[in-house]
Amino acid sequence: MSMGVKEVLAEKIAGEITLSPKPGETLRKWRTTFDIAQADLAKFLGIAQSVISDYESGRRKSPGIHSVKRIIDAFLEIDEKKHGGITIQQYQYMVKTQDGIIDIMEYPYAIPIQKLIKEINGKVATPTSISLDRAVKGFTLIDGIETIKTLTATNYPKLYGWSTERALVFTKIQFGRSPMIAIRIHPVKPSLVVYHQPGGVDPLAVQLAERENMPLIITEMSLEELRKKLVSLGR
């Protein structure tokens, strides 16, 4: 297994846990991502299971950076020894992103989409019957032209990173018909779709979003500002 991928993954997890306002919840998220039981993790680390439980529930103060590093090393080692490195391989697949993905990020905890819409000065294009009472766990910022040209059934799942509960954000699109058709024909759906500075919005794109019961949001802020806002939501 490439050390590079393990290092990138370890750094990503450490960053998420230490920056999270709820480090215990983020720790639990990653433990379950690796499909490791509390008891197995505690045994591997040579500590009582109650210590892990107390960290995750917030009863015990967040572990220091040294303890976080030990826990992450345990995730990676258990994954390799017991699960054949399946989660690490998943990440390896994800870091080799296709042409057209500008940025991709997982959030340490679920973000209400109303908060995301407010942060990016979004305008809702879909009817009020489409509920905004849902959350996202990450975003993928996509170059619309590049992606639509290269999108296949094989690389479409790469847009989703670790979770389908995310915002797919398309930039460089004319009227937004093609991205919505691509989403419509694929069984995996995002929580919401954002169009960045579209030339206009094709009524068909809105109809398709409505049919999928998926909010479609328009934002006119600059691309760099949009990227910063999306990233800062996870901090």
Query: pLDDT digits over 7-24, tens only?
Result: 778 878 888 888 788 899
Nearest to 148 by CA among 163, 159, 136, 139: 159
Residue ranges in the chain modelled with pLDDT below 70:
1-4, 92-99, 146, 148-157, 162
- Structural domains in the chain plus CATH codes: 3-92 (1.10.260.40), 97-232 (3.40.1390.20)
**Residues 108, 234 contacting (CB under 8 angstroms):** yes
Q: Tens digits of per-residue pLDDT, 105-127?
A: 888 788 999 999 999 999 999 99
- The per-residue pLDDT for 1 is 41
User: Which of 122, 110, 136 shows the shortest CA–CA distance to 195?
Assistant: 122
pLDDT at 150: 65
- What global pTM score does this model have? 0.61
Torsion of CA 226, 227, 229, 232, to 10 degrees: 180
How confident is the model at residue 2, as a pLDDT? Answer: 40
Contact 216, 202 (CB under 8 A): no
| Tokens read off for 176 | 């937004």
